[in-house]
């Protein structure tokens, strides 16, 4: 069995959770390689509805092993709350969930700095979730971070927390006028988290490579999406990690040769949360219809998402960066009621046509989308499970996307539930 990476191909919220859940039966291990609890996956089947933030979607399948990789930043309180919530819904969480000892930890001062900076930035704020993701990654890169392994080493944990508070408390109080943190209280709290989580902590890289050598198949699951990648996205309005396929290698410690297939999850239109470039954004009744019909509200924050038409320049960029082998096209049914459906085919930027996303234009928002308009199908596609049963106009829409991205839409979602899917 081959190993597969599932990545978002736009600005996130494409429906990766459903796709991972749908494909899980074919894999032995599901490993998350980056991000924190600032993004979530929603999985629905029948009358069951699960919301996931840190834990891979594979946890809904009791016979699958799940790993939180070293590329993640983990808030132990959020993780334990998620475990408890899922258990209340009947999900079995035991030895099937492991945590890499090299993943980094989010602490309360990270959250406080995140919120304080956004308040200080005013109209220039990035639009973070305030959960401390960026500051935690900053601490990691500055080489003073606290890792999961430190939670079970009292002497190291105490030393690192005391150092961090000595550095960050003056900034919080002196620059932002916020309360300081008591290092002893933080030490007691996080030592307790280490005791609770100790049986799940493992060398994630060794664990995963042992599974691969044993012939187990692995699904690599990311959060957010390509256009939010810290290197390849619409900087600075991005997340703080590599959510494109390259993050699999660094965020889990697996060699590129072990990634056999890459699936890009694509929403049939476009959304994004927070500030930053969005060339096809709609501020009219069409945009509101997409938001309402598509239930475009954040899984974690509940924030309403910005909505717009499909952007092929974004998809070509994502296909190039990730080397997509297939597309999973989601929320096709959300377009059911439109008379016409425009698709952005390229941009005009300073007199030049761009078929991929021009990073230099982000700072000035000076891209002018060029559209091709398709006739809507004006009939329900909800729950259709055969491509042949789709209206002809919907087939034309899908095939145009395939032609323009040179990537086959092997999966087409026609509703939020697991069973509302076309598999080609």
pLDDT by residue (tens digit) across 245-297?
999 999 999 999 999 999 999 999 999 998 899 999 999 999 999 999 999 98
List, as one string, the DSSP characters of 145-199: PPBGGGGG-HHHHHHHHHHHHHHHHHIIIIIT------HHHHHHHHHHHHHHHGG
Distance, in Å, from the CA atom of 20 to the CA atom of 383, rounded to the nearest integer, reads 18
Q: For the residues 17-29, what does the mean pLDDT come to?
A: 91
Both tokens assigned to 25: 């039966």
pLDDT (0 to 100) of residue 299: 67
Range among 122-126, 234-238, 317-321 rated most confident: 317-321
Active site residue 13: yes
| Whether 267 contacts 14, CB under 8 Å | yes
CA atoms within 13 A on the CB side of 264: 32
Least confident residue range of 144-153, 271-280, 293-302: 293-302
CA distance 233 to 227: 4
- Clarify whether 366 is annotated catalytic: no
- Select from 350, 85, 65 the least CA-distant residue to 207: 65
Q: Please state the rounded mean pLDDT for residues 298-323.
A: 91
Q: Give the pLDDT of residue 275.
A: 87
Q: How far apart are CA 28 and CA 8, in angstroms?
A: 22
Phi first, then psi, for residue 130 (nearest 5°) are: 75, 20
Count of Cβ atoms closer than 10 Å to residue 122 Cβ:
7
Cis peptide before 93 (omega within 30 of 0): no
Q: Are residues 220 and 172 in contact, defined by beta-carbon separation less than 8 angstroms?
A: no
Choosing from 37, 41, 110, 232, which is the catalytic residue?
Answer: 41
State how far the Cα of 98 lies from the Cα of 253, in Å rounded to an integer. Answer: 15
Please say whether the beta carbons of 40 and 63 come within 8 A.
Answer: no
Other CB atoms closer than 10 Å to residue 299's CB: what's the count?
14
Give ∠ CA 339-343-345 in degrees, rounded to 5: 155
- Show the CA angle centred on residue 152, arms to residues 139 and 163, nearest 5°: 35
Contact assessment for residue 303 and residue 127, using Cβ atoms and an 8 Å cutoff:
no
235, two tokens: 């900087």
Surface-to-core class of residue 281, CB atoms within 10 Å of its CB (0-12 exposed, 13-18 middle, 19+ buried) = middle
Beta-sheet pairing, 367-375 with 310-311: unpaired
Give pLDDT, residue 46: 65
Question: What's the confidence (pLDDT) of residue 62?
Answer: 87
Contact 343, 309 (CB under 8 A): yes
Q: What is the pLDDT of residues 351-401, one digit of tens each?
A: 899 999 998 888 778 889 999 999 999 999 999 999 999 999 999 999 999
Q: What is the pLDDT of residues 178-200, one digit of tens each?
A: 999 999 999 999 999 999 999 99
Q: Which residues share a beta bridge with 73?
A: 104
Q: Is 355 exposed, middle or buried (0-12, 13-18, 19+ CB in 10 A)?
A: middle
**Residues 381, 325, 375: CA angle, nearest 5 degrees:** 30
Both structure tokens of 294: 């598509």
Cα distances (Å, whole numbers) of residue 320 to 115, 245, 358: 35, 11, 13
**Mean pLDDT, rounded, of the chain:** 94
18 or 73, which is more confident? 73
Q: Tell me the pLDDT band of 153, cut-offs 50, 70 and 90.
A: very high
Q: Where is average pLDDT lowest: 43-47, 210-214, 226-230?
A: 43-47
Determine the pLDDT at residue 122.
82
d(CA 168, CA 166): 6
Q: Which residues are within 8 A (CB) of 73 and not within 5 positions of it... i.e. 6 or more apart?
A: 35, 36, 103, 104, 105, 106, 132, 133, 136, 137, 140, 241
The whole-number pLDDT of residue 121 equals 79
Evaluated on CA atoms 398, 58, 63, 322, the torsion sign reads: positive
């Amino acid at each position: 069995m081959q190993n597969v990476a599932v990545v978002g191909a736009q600005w996130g919220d494409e429906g990766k959770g459903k796709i991972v859940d749908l494909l899980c039966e074919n894999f032995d291990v599901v490993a998350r390689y980056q991000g924190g609890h600032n993004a979530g996956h929603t999985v629905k089947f029948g009358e069951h509805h699960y919301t996931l933030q840190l834990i891979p979607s594979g946890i809904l399948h009791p016979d699958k092993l799940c790993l939180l990789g070293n590329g993640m930043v983990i808030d132990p309180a959020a993780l334990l709350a998620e475990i408890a919530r899922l258990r209340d819904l009947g999900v079995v969480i035991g030895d099937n969930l492991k945590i890499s000892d090299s993943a980094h930890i989010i602490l309360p001062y990270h959250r406080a700095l995140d919120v304080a900076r956004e308040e200080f930035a005013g109209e220039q704020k990035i639009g973070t979730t305030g959960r401390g993701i960026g500051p935690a990654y900053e601490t990691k890169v500055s080489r003073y971070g606290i890792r999961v392994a430190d939670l079970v080493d009292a002497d190291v944990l105490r030393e690192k927390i005391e150092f961090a508070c000595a550095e960050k408390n003056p900034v919080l109080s002196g620059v932002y006028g916020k309360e300081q943190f008591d290092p002893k209280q933080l030490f007691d709290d996080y030592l307790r988290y280490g005791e609770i989580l100790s049986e799940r902590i493992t060398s994630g890289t060794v664990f995963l490579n042992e599974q691969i050598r044993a012939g187990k198949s692995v699904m690599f699951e990311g959060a957010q999406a390509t256009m939010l990648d810290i290197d390849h996205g619409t900087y600075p309005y991005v997340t703080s990690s590599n959510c494109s396929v390259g993050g699999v290698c660094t965020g889990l410690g697996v060699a590129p040769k072990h990634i056999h297939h890459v699936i890009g999850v694509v929403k049939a239109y476009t959304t994004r949360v927070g500030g930053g470039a969005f060339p096809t954004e709609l501020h009219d009744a069409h945009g509101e219809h997409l938001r309402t019909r598509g239930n475009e509200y954040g899984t974690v924050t509940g924030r309403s998402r910005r909505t717009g038409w499909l952007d092929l320049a974004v998809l070509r960029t994502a296909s190039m960066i990730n080397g997509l082998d297939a597309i999973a096209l989601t929320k096709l049914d959300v377009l059911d009621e439109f008379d016409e459906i425009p698709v952005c085919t390229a941009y005009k930027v300073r007199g030049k046509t761009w078929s991929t996303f021009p990073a230099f234009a982000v700072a000035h928002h000076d891209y002018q989308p060029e559209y091709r308009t398709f006739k809507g199908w004006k009939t329900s596609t909800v729950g259709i499970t055969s491509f042949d049963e789709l209206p002809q106009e919907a087939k034309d829409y899908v095939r145009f996307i395939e032609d323009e991205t040179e990537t086959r839409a092997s999966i087409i979602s026609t509703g939020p539930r697991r069973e509302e899917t076309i598999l080609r």
